[in-house]
Amino acid sequence: MSEKSGEVFIIEGGNIKPLPPRSFREGMFGENLEEALKNLIEKYPEVIPGRQIDPESDDPPRFALLCREMPVGGGSLDLLLVDQYAVLTLVETKLAENREARREVIGQIIEYAANAVKLWGNGRVREEAAEFWSKHDKDVNDVIRGKLGIEDEEGFWQTVEKNLKEGVIRLIIAGDELYPEVQRIIEYLNREMENAEVYGLELRCFGQESEKLVLAPRLIGQTQEIADRKSKERRRQWNEESFFRDIEEKVASEEVRNAIRKIYDFSKEKADEISWGTGSVRGSFGPKFQRISQRKSVYTVWSDGTLTINFGWLNDNENALQWREKLYNRLREIMKDYITQEKKEKYPNIPPEIWVPRVEDFINIITELLEET
């Protein structure tokens, strides 16, 4: 370990002593150091210090693993993760003992990022992540819901696609030590790249017992200026004023704008709470009816005119499940091509050309089902 990385001390029984550095080979993640690093980040993505990425945020980036050995171009990325802002995070691991490879990995991960933006559209990331987690007998939506607190999975994946298309992506080179020349390159790239973020992650390992590790993650490449600029791009808190201002910019049709206003006024009158979205790409609101679900909104209206029916959320009690069944059957009557059996427990997105001509029918259905409850 580099001396400039500092020491870690432990105070116990009135005595102070340095905690000795350890190799990952001595830990619980495998004999091969590089594999051990991959295994560590795969199992504990929390070791990526979101607070160091965005020091001023009330909700700094948190991470969930999407895939390991993700195909990209002619190679495969070590680890693909995503944060709660739907920003894909590409992670490559390299060892300090191979100094030349440390420099080469910067070109490699940038090449992966370029190929990812070009090749991973049209749901490719979601498909690969679903296949990866199916091998572990898990649903990838359950993973992102549990790790990141995502409520609108369909909207989340749409934002992943948009971020990818716009080059909003994060690159991390992880290792046991980062040499100064690599740090300088990372800092330069992170400062100059408009939408992408590039970081080094130095994972120092300490411990005294074979079953315990003390990890000291250190992020390389961040400055306060970069953090301030890029944190604004990740998330914003929408409200009534900013939502309708965004509609004026995104929606050309007066008919659609009027329909959104009509469903908003109805929601504001009938709902117990209006929940405003925090997406960086488009605004949203969702009404919550406590007699149906204490925590989840029944539908979400987006500032581009999309209407999402949140069937997947309405499962927190028996009453919600019964109400969902009634809602499904009634909406099938007016939007059967979009309210299908396979979407019964998911989040169908209804384009404005479908729901806007039927907005009165939609409001009447919600009203009648609320009165029956």
In this predicted model, what pLDDT tens digit does every residue of 2-13 receive, in sequence order?
334 567 888 888
Same domain flag for 366 and 309: yes
Four-residue CA torsion sign, 320, 321, 325, 331: positive
Q: Indicate if 229 and 310 belong to the same structural domain.
A: no
- Beta strands (DSSP E) in the chain are 9-12, 15-18, 63-72, 75-83, 88-93, 169-175, 197-206, 214-220, 273-276, 284-288, 299-302, 307-309, 349-350
Residues 258 and 222 placed together within one structural domain of the fold? no
Give me 51's structure tokens: 């607070």
What the block records as the tokens of 2 is 């580099």
pLDDT score at 12: 83
The C-alpha torsion from 89 through 136 and 33 to 207, rounded to 10°, is 90
Helix (H, G, I), strand (E, B) or coil at 258: helix
Q: Note every long-range contact of 183-191, with CB atoms under 8 Å and residues 24 or more positions apart, other chains counting.
A: 183/220, 183/221, 185/103, 185/106, 186/106, 186/220, 186/221, 187/220, 187/221, 187/223, 189/106, 189/110, 189/221, 190/221, 190/222, 190/223, 190/226, 191/223, 191/225, 191/226
The predicted structure's pLDDT at residue 27: 55
d(CA 49, CA 144): 18
Identify the pLDDT of residue 251.
96
Say yes or no: 211 and 246 in one domain: no
Return the beta strands (E) in 197-298 as ranges: 197-206, 214-220, 273-276, 284-288
Residue after which a domain boundary falls, among 234, 269, 292: 234
Residue 182 belongs to domain spanning: 3-234
Helix (H, G, I), strand (E, B), or coil: what is residue 242?
A: helix
Supply the pLDDT for residue 306.
93
- State the helix-helix crossing angle for 359-372 and 254-270, rounded to 10 degrees: 10
The pTM for the full model equals 0.64
Which of the 8 DSSP states describes residue 277? P
Residue 151 in tokens? 């409520």
Given 204, 234, 264, the domain boundary residue is: 234
Closest CA to 63 of 33, 42, 84, 32: 84
In this structure, are 260 and 307 located in the same domain? Answer: yes
State the pLDDT at residue 223.
Answer: 65
43 with 154, same domain: the answer is yes
Backbone angles phi, psi at 356, to 5 degrees: -60, -45
Q: Are strands 169-175 and 88-93 parallel, antiparallel or unpaired?
A: parallel
Please report the pLDDT score of residue 4 as a whole number. Answer: 44
Classify the C-alpha dihedral 158-164-166-171 as positive or negative.
positive
Q: Is the same domain home to 223 and 251?
A: no
Which one-letter DSSP state was computed for residue 151? S
Query: Does one domain contain both 227 and 251?
Result: no
**Which DSSP state fits 5?**
G
Same domain for 183 and 265, yes or no, is no
Residues 191 and 291 in one domain: no
Residues of the chain short of pLDDT 70, as ranges, are: 1-6, 23-31, 58, 96-103, 151, 207-211, 223-236, 280-281
Eight-class DSSP state of 43? H
| Token couple for 156 | 């989340």
Whole-angstrom distance, CA of residue 141 vs CA of residue 6: 40
Structure tokens at 147: 């790790």
Q: Is 350 helix (H, G, I), strand (E, B) or coil?
A: strand
Sheet holding 63-72, edge to edge: 63-72, 75-83, 88-93, 169-175, 197-206, 214-220
- Angstrom distance (rounded) from CA 345 to CA 155: 15
- The answer to whether residues 51 and 7 belong to one domain is yes
187, 214, 234 - which closes a domain:
234
CB 206 within 8 A of CB 271: no
Q: What is the pLDDT of residue 108?
A: 85
- Alpha carbon distance 92, 170 (integer Å): 12
Same domain, 282 and 339: yes
Q: What's residue 220's pLDDT?
A: 86
Give how many domains the chain has, as a whole number.
Answer: 2
From residue 174, alpha-carbon distances to 41, 129, 373 in Å are: 9, 21, 53
